[in-house]
Amino acid sequence: MPRVKRGTHRRDARKKTLKQASGYFLTKSKLNRAAQEAVERGLKFAYVGRKNKKREFRALWIVRINAACREAGISYSRFLNGLKAARLELNRKVLAEVALHDDAAFQQLVSVAKSALEVKDSARAALEKK
């Protein structure tokens, strides 16, 4: 069986871990075992945090759109339903930006959504009469 010498691989892995742990407190930035545990824990939190960030931004966009909709006299769900009925595919990020920075454009979107809802409701009423 050939002899295996542990050359730079082991040292490089430890240097990488210690570099990632620089700035940690006491032994977490000095000793390999403690640093490796701290780095793995930090990477786990970073992964979860990236997922939570998306969730929190979507919630923020919904709050902003809802506030602008309420000022315009329509509920959030009716507004999005009207946009879907009008075949306008705008995501919540864009709608939140428009609601925050361009009130006139948002009012136009609201009027488009309301008119699409009226057409949809009148078509539904006509079907129910038959």
Per residue in 96-127, pLDDT (tens digit) is: 999 999 999 999 999 999 999 999 999 988 88
How confident is the model at residue 96, as a pLDDT? 98
**Tens-digit pLDDT profile for residues 14-30:** 999 999 999 999 999 99
What band does 10 get if pLDDT is binned at 50, 70 and 90? confident
The residues, ordered by sequence, that sit 6+ positions from 42 with a Cβ below 8 Å of its Cβ are 20
CATH architecture of the domain formed by 45-129? Orthogonal Bundle (1.10)
With contact defined as beta carbons under 8 Å apart, do 68 and 107 qualify?
A: no
How confident is the model at residue 36, as a pLDDT? 97
Query: Domains of the chain: which residue ranges?
Result: 45-129
Q: How far apart are CA 16 and CA 87, in angstroms?
A: 51
Most confident of 7-11, 67-71, 123-127: 67-71
How confident is the model at residue 77, as a pLDDT? 96
Eight-class DSSP state of 60: H
pLDDT over 80 at 5, yes or no: no
CA–CA distance from 84 to each of 29, 32, 42, 117 (Å)?
53, 55, 41, 9
